[in-house]
Amino acid sequence: MTASATSAGVPSRPRRCQRGGSGRAEPGSSRGRRSPRLASGRVSRVGFAWRVALHPRGIPVRIVVFGPPGGGKGTQVDRIKGDAGAVAIAPGDLLRQAVAEGTPAGRRAQDFMRRGELVPDEVVIDLIRERAEAPEVRRGYILDGFPRTMVQLEAAERFLGEAGMVPDAWLFIDVPESVIEERILGRRTCTSCQASWHVTFNPSPRGEQCGRCGGELGRRADDAPDKLRTRLEAYRRDTVPVIDHLRAQGRLRTVEAGTLGPDAVERLVRSALGLDPPPPKVA
Ligand SMILES: [Zn+2]
79, 96, 158, 220: the active-site residue? 220
212, 231, 247, 251: the active-site residue? 231
Cα–Cα distance between 220 and 189 in angstroms, integer? 7
* Domains, the chain, ordered by start: 54-177+240-273 (3.40.50.300)
Cα–Cα distance between 223 and 189 in angstroms, integer? 10
pLDDT at res. 117: 76
CA of 183 to the centre of ligand 1 (A): 19
pLDDT at res. 58: 61
42, 51, 73, 188: the active-site residue? 73
pLDDT at res. 27: 39
Local structure of residue 275 (DSSP, 8 states): P
R_g (Cα) of the chain, nearest Å: 20
Residue 244 CA, chain-centre distance (Å), reads: 16
Cα–Cα distance between 219 and 3 in angstroms, integer? 49
Q: Is 220 a catalytic residue?
A: yes
CB of 225 closer than 8 Å to CB of 183: no
pLDDT at res. 56: 60
Q: Side-chain half-sphere of 212: how many Cα atoms within 13 Å?
A: 12
pLDDT at res. 15: 41
Q: Is 13 a catalytic residue?
A: no
Looking at the DSSP bridge assignments, the partners of residue 89 are 143
Local structure of residue 43 (DSSP, 8 states): G
CA of 220 to the centre of ligand 1 (A): 14
CB of 167 closer than 8 Å to CB of 143: yes
Q: Is 237 a catalytic residue?
A: no
Cα–Cα distance between 105 and 119 in angstroms, integer? 10
φ, ψ (nearest 5 deg) of residue 8: -75, 140
CA of 217 to the centre of ligand 1 (A): 8
Residue positions counted in the chain: 283
Who surrounds ion ligand 1 at CB < 5 A? Answer: 190, 193, 195, 210, 212-213, 215
CA of 87 to the centre of ligand 1 (A): 29
Q: Is 188 a catalytic residue?
A: no
CA of 212 to the centre of ligand 1 (A): 5
pLDDT at res. 248: 97
Sheet strand arrangement including 196-198:
196-198, 187-190, 217-218
Q: Is 158 a catalytic residue?
A: no
CA of 154 to the centre of ligand 1 (A): 42
Number of continuous H segments (helices) and E segments (strands) in the chain: 12, 8
Give mean pLDDT in consecutive 10-residue pieces for the chain, a chain of 283 residues. Answer: 40 40 39 38 35 56 93 91 87 88 87 81 91 86 95 95 92 95 92 93 93 94 87 93 97 95 94 85 63
Residue 111 CA, chain-centre distance (Å), reads: 27
CA of 83 to the centre of ligand 1 (A): 30
